[in-house]
Structure 1
Amino acid sequence: MGILKVVEERPTPPSVYNWRVYVLAIIASCGSCMIGYTSAFIGTTIGLESFQDEFGLATKTTAEKNEVSENIVSIFVAGAFFGALGTYCISHFIGRKVCLSIGATVFSVGAGLTCGANGSRGLGLLYAGRVLTGLGTGVASNIIPVYISELAPPAIRGRLVGLYELGWQIGGLVGFWINYGIETTMPASHEQWVIPFAVQLIPSGLLLLGSLWIRESPRWLFLKDQRRKAMDNLCWIRQLEPSDMYITEEIAGIDKIYEMQKSTVGFGFWQPFKALGARPYLQWRLFLGCMLFFWQNGSGINAINYYSPTIFRSLGIDGNTVNLMTGIFGVVKAVMTFIWLLFLVDQLGRRKLLLIGAVTGSVCMWIIGAYVCVAEPTKNPTDHLTSSGTAAVFFFYLWTAVYTPTWNGTPWVINSEFFDPNFRSLASGITTASNWLFNFLVSRFTEQMFASMGYGVYFFFASLSFLAFFFAFFLIPETSGVPLEQIDRLFEIKPVWRANKALKAQLQEEEQQFRSRVKSDTVHQENLKGSEIDSPL
């Protein structure tokens, strides 16, 4: 079961899986590329000798340097938190497409400001730019999965939303390696550390240009009662005529769920808030979506993304080798994201990936922590890695290889599918903001945790990964292959681990009944026409 294999809930014309739907997803994923890059490059860039010298960090104590690096990282994450929350307001009124343009623009302005910082101006301009890039990141991280999920056919929805994660990892790969390249090829200078900051403008510029070409989400247009434009966009994306049975069925499904939403929740700005307060089942589902990001960050991934030099030094690696090992970390993540995207997310399913990742990730973290506890590599430095140190590095990369196709991208896919159309924008804003909130806590206190806890940090991450298994097993249903308009029914079926199979059986039966009725109506109309022709004048 590879990239060309799809599992359909109903017969689908081959033209639905066309180049347009992939290009739209790729353009939107330029936003995740800028997020991945800016999350990855910062840790090693602010550790460059040229950066440290220019801003006087070389003369500061370790605690003072840790505070500065934590501030540079955490204010970006704080900006992303507020950007994600604010996206609901603008996406509700002006749509998904314009949100992508706004996110790219704000990010680009912030990236430009960071390039203007220097020793004489101090860190103020850098801080301001990081806040703006964070705001743009929050907007993009919220709207991209929503946009892609709303235009994707169900059978390849996980694959297309997975492009969001792929873009993140490609950006991260460049971010991890760029510092290795400039440190080994350029002398320490102002330009050396400015280049990584300037590269942020490339993916944000591509997203800004692409947002001028892409089409608005048909589902958002239907929600706003712009049916003609919604039909045009849907037929353009699917490459089908309006009279095609597939289009008829898709619109019927959208209309059915929107009519239900109109009679129960409503389409106004405040209606989703009221629905959330009055409906415990929505609160529960929102809690599950936020908790997915809690467990994701609890695995330790963002501690590694932001502070990879600290992580590798705790394993006994130092000097230029740190940037090399960080670059390999980025390569492993990117390769495993390809595998996840092409062969796992739609074929193996979301739920199984979470379960596998939780158990394997926990085991690897326990082993790494045990090595640091026993060997104490920072207190007993050597000029080369011992055999046990090599084993620890192996399990670190094994953890990376398993975590990447499981808990790294899968929570984003699930959260893009969990909620009905009228609640999806608000829910996406809240769940994405929760990711950045947990991300902020990790980024703000990682250096301090390693200073005070040492090997205990690895045991902490291992314990959270172990608990994440039970969370996913008992509470998260499989969402792959289920139309967005039928997600509510998925949560009505118990037990959770059988819900997906049971719902697909129900949908297949309903599909057969629908086609039988359409065929019967067509035959009946043809018979009536025949009777009119045969009847005497």
Structure 2
Amino acid sequence: MGGILHIVEDRPTPPSVYNWRVYVLALIASCGSNMIGYTSAFIGTTIDLDSFMEEFGTINDSSAKQDLISENIVSLFIAGAFFGALLTYALSHWIGRKWCLTISSAVFILGAGLQCGATSKTGLGILYAGRVLSGLGTGVASNIVPIYLAELAPPAIRGRLVGLYELGWQIGGMLGFWINYGVEQHIPASHKQWLIPFAIQLIPSGMLMLGSLWIRESPRWLFLHDKRAQAMNNLCWIRQLTPSDIYITEEVAAIDAAHEAMKATVGLGFWQPFKALRARPLLCYRLFLGCMLFFWQNGSGINAINYYSPTIFKSLGVQTDTVDIMSGIFGVVKAVMTIIWLLFLVDQFGRRKLLLVGAITGSICMWVIGVYVYIVEPTKHDITSLNGSGIAAIFFFYLWTAVYTPTWNGTPWVINSEFFDPNFRSLAQACTTASNWLFNFLVSRFTEQMFATMGYGVYMFFASLSFLAFFFAFFLIPETSGIPLEKVDRLFQCKPVWRANQQLKAILAEEEEQFRFEIKDQAVHQEHQEDSEGTRV
């Protein structure tokens, strides 16, 4: 069966495993990405409103000073996210995935409240403080949500469930763009006009906080911390199976085997992953790959567009009065393509192929846009309407959006949630997520200056990085789809990289068959033994 219902299973799986509970847990956790997507998208156009600049007395400042304030508002949020991501390792290790979600939403709500309380009397200081706090909450959520989703998901739909994180991000982003358009068009320039977009941040964060009080803790985290009774209870509840079911037996055996292997090689505990980095160079290599995925992702230019979409569209010759609606369409395209990626591509097409297609196609689109800006120089001419070449440039911009979104936008998050064994996953995810926010910070901090000094060169810079990303993905990134989390270590032992997934699946199929044979043989032996004892009685 193809399309939405098509599932590629790694082993025989009871239908009840794909039940409503696992999807509801994933949707609740994905409220964390709703708040990230919204707060990342709304800010660029909100702080560009005249009502906002009048409130804080910057409307008559030079464009350079206005750009500096905008960059401060954006970059302080990202700096907070960077440190929040690093902090998550300690939090998730000691208090678990569930309570990390609660804490992240609480800190975010506090930050959003401070932003809403900023006025001309308080100045920008309280707004800056609120941005840092909401960034801290965002950093924790951006780290822990993919881990939680990966740990509760059956392998066959892991990409789909982790993909809900990206879908939530894009839906939040789309709402951020259109809410800004709505308040600008329908609410007079006033304190209320810019306050509404800031206040809406409280909705997804509030939903996450309430939902996090209901969701179940990750069974894998519970097994890792020797809370076996609660772990079995949660796992059986999520899978809708009994403890004696062969599927549960296999899953628990795989988790236990992975933990025993970690005890024998690295050890279980807070400091052991740090020691593992020194003792196991292969882990450092995988951590490097995970961080570099986010380097190439940010190198595509997506976050420059997310935060400064008005600047991007103006550089293409779009008039000021249509910039907001063009930004809104940008958000819609991303949301639609994320749904397509989630339902039809990430598990069926695979992670690796998506990266390869997205890198080459995205590079071509950026080259075309760069050549257009170089030849036409729209910012140096008083263009009242787009001509044929301008329309073509806009077409390639949206084509780039349509290609990039289902390839490099969410796929690195899925891969990084799968790359590492359970005891190392929290630390690795903290490092890779922090690297994402670091690269994000660099892009957002210098985007305005790059466009001011490089012009068309910015697009060619992004195009070149996308081109290089193709070779990075082809030679270094193995396909992770369909591989149980506890077996990913072995994926990196298979060579060459582009055949590793098929090789490991063949090996695992043989081992699975042997495991089931041994379980059945033990059951038959026990039954014969019971019959013999009954006969003697």
Output the TM-score relative to the length of structure 1: 0.99
Q: Does the CA-based 8 Å contact 2:106-2:209 persist in structure 1?
A: yes
2:233 alignment partner in structure 1: 232
1:10 alignment partner in structure 2: 11
Deviation, 1:137, is: 0.2
What does 1:383-532 align with in structure 2 at a 5 Å threshold?
383-532=384-533
Q: Aligned partners of 1:308, 1:327: CA distance in 2, in Å?
A: 10
Instruction: Point out the more displaced range, 379-388 or 459-468.
Output: 379-388
Runs in 1 of length 4+ with deviation above 6 angstroms? none
**Structure 2 regions of 5+ residues with no counterpart?**
none
**Superposed CA offset, 1:196-219 (max 9, x none):** 000000000000000010000000
2:32 alignment partner in structure 1: 31
What does 1:74-153 align with in structure 2 at a 5 Å threshold?
74-153=75-154
Q: In structure 1, the residue corresponding to 2:59 is in which secondary structure?
A: helix
**Superposed CA offset, 1:430-486 (max 9, x none):** 000000000000010000000000000000000000000000000000000000000
Letter in 2 for 1:209: L
Letter in 1 for 2:153: A
Deviation, 1:290, is: 0.1
2:200 alignment partner in structure 1: 199
Count, aligned residues? 536
Q: In structure 2, the residue corresponding to 1:57 is in which secondary structure?
A: coil
Deviation, 1:266, is: 1.2
Q: In structure 1, the residue corresponding to 2:379 is in which secondary structure?
A: coil
Q: Aligned partners of 1:189, 1:3: CA distance in 2, in Å?
A: 46
Q: In structure 1, the residue corresponding to 2:360 is in which secondary structure?
A: helix
Q: Aligned partners of 1:219, 1:522: CA distance in 2, in Å?
A: 27
Instruction: Point out the more displaced range, 266-275 or 448-457.
Output: 266-275
Letter in 2 for 1:98: W
1:168 alignment partner in structure 2: 169
Q: Aligned partners of 1:320, 1:379: CA distance in 2, in Å?
A: 18
Deviation, 1:264, is: 1.2
Q: Aligned partners of 2:340, 2:331: CA distance in 1, in Å?
A: 15
**Structure 1 regions of 5+ residues with no counterpart?**
none
Q: Aligned partners of 1:68, 1:531: CA distance in 2, in Å?
A: 83
Deviation, 1:530, is: 2.5
1:283 alignment partner in structure 2: 284
Q: Aligned partners of 2:320, 2:371: CA distance in 1, in Å?
A: 24
Q: In structure 2, the residue corresponding to 1:320 is in which secondary structure?
A: helix
Q: In structure 1, the residue corresponding to 2:380 is in which secondary structure?
A: coil
Q: Aligned partners of 2:338, 2:182: CA distance in 1, in Å?
A: 23
Q: Aligned partners of 2:354, 2:382: CA distance in 1, in Å?
A: 38
Deviation, 1:245, is: 0.5
**Superposed CA offset, 1:209-236 (max 9, x none):** 0001000000000000000000000000
Q: In structure 1, the residue corresponding to 2:5 is in which secondary structure?
A: coil
Q: Aligned partners of 1:361, 1:372: CA distance in 2, in Å?
A: 17
Q: Aligned partners of 1:471, 1:493: CA distance in 2, in Å?
A: 18
Letter in 2 for 1:77: I
Letter in 2 for 1:116: G
Deviation, 1:261, is: 0.6
Letter in 1 for 2:435: S
Q: Aligned partners of 1:524, 1:58: CA distance in 2, in Å?
A: 83
Letter in 2 for 1:184: Q
Q: Aligned partners of 2:64, 2:334: CA distance in 1, in Å?
A: 31
Q: Aligned partners of 1:90, 1:520: CA distance in 2, in Å?
A: 44
Q: Aligned partners of 1:37, 1:534: CA distance in 2, in Å?
A: 70
Q: Aligned partners of 1:465, 1:179: CA distance in 2, in Å?
A: 30
1:302 alignment partner in structure 2: 303
Q: Aligned partners of 1:514, 1:425: CA distance in 2, in Å?
A: 29
Deviation, 1:152, is: 0.3
Q: Aligned partners of 2:276, 2:94: CA distance in 1, in Å?
A: 19
Deviation, 1:517, is: 1.2
Letter in 1 for 2:316: L
Letter in 2 for 1:452: T
Q: In structure 2, the residue corresponding to 1:3 is in which secondary structure?
A: helix
Q: Aligned partners of 2:123, 2:15: CA distance in 1, in Å?
A: 57
Q: Aligned partners of 2:111, 2:533: CA distance in 1, in Å?
A: 71
Q: In structure 2, the residue corresponding to 1:47 is in which secondary structure?
A: coil
**Superposed CA offset, 1:115-157 (max 9, x none):** 0111121100100000000000000000000001000000000
Letter in 1 for 2:127: L
Deviation, 1:522, is: 1.6
What does 1:188-267 align with in structure 2 at a 5 Å threshold?
188-267=189-268
1:274 alignment partner in structure 2: 275
Q: Aligned partners of 2:516, 2:280: CA distance in 1, in Å?
A: 34
2:333 alignment partner in structure 1: 332
Q: Aligned partners of 1:90, 1:329: CA distance in 2, in Å?
A: 36
**Superposed CA offset, 1:258-281 (max 9, x none):** 011111111111111011111100
Q: Aligned partners of 2:218, 2:143: CA distance in 1, in Å?
A: 15
1:364 alignment partner in structure 2: 365
Q: Aligned partners of 1:373, 1:134: CA distance in 2, in Å?
A: 36
Q: Aligned partners of 1:331, 1:233: CA distance in 2, in Å?
A: 37
Deviation, 1:59, is: 1.0
Instruction: Point out the more displaced range, 61-70 or 460-469.
Output: 61-70
Q: Aligned partners of 2:80, 2:356: CA distance in 1, in Å?
A: 32
Q: Aligned partners of 2:124, 2:253: CA distance in 1, in Å?
A: 56
1:319 alignment partner in structure 2: 320
Deviation, 1:68, is: 0.5
Sequence identity (%): 75
Q: Does the CA-based 8 Å contact 2:319-2:384 persist in structure 1?
A: no
**Superposed CA offset, 1:145-195 (max 9, x none):** 000100000000000000000000000000011111011101100110000
Deviation, 1:524, is: 1.8
Deviation, 1:527, is: 2.0
Q: Aligned partners of 2:357, 2:124: CA distance in 1, in Å?
A: 43
Q: CA RMSD in A?
A: 0.7
Letter in 1 for 2:348: Q
Q: Aligned partners of 1:319, 1:224: CA distance in 2, in Å?
A: 56
Q: Aligned partners of 2:163, 2:500: CA distance in 1, in Å?
A: 23
Deviation, 1:534, is: 3.3
1:158 alignment partner in structure 2: 159
Instruction: Point out the more displaced range, 526-535 or 451-460.
Output: 526-535
Q: In structure 1, the residue corresponding to 2:340 is in which secondary structure?
A: helix
Letter in 2 for 1:305: N
**Superposed CA offset, 1:395-440 (max 9, x none):** 0000000000000000000000000000000000000000000000
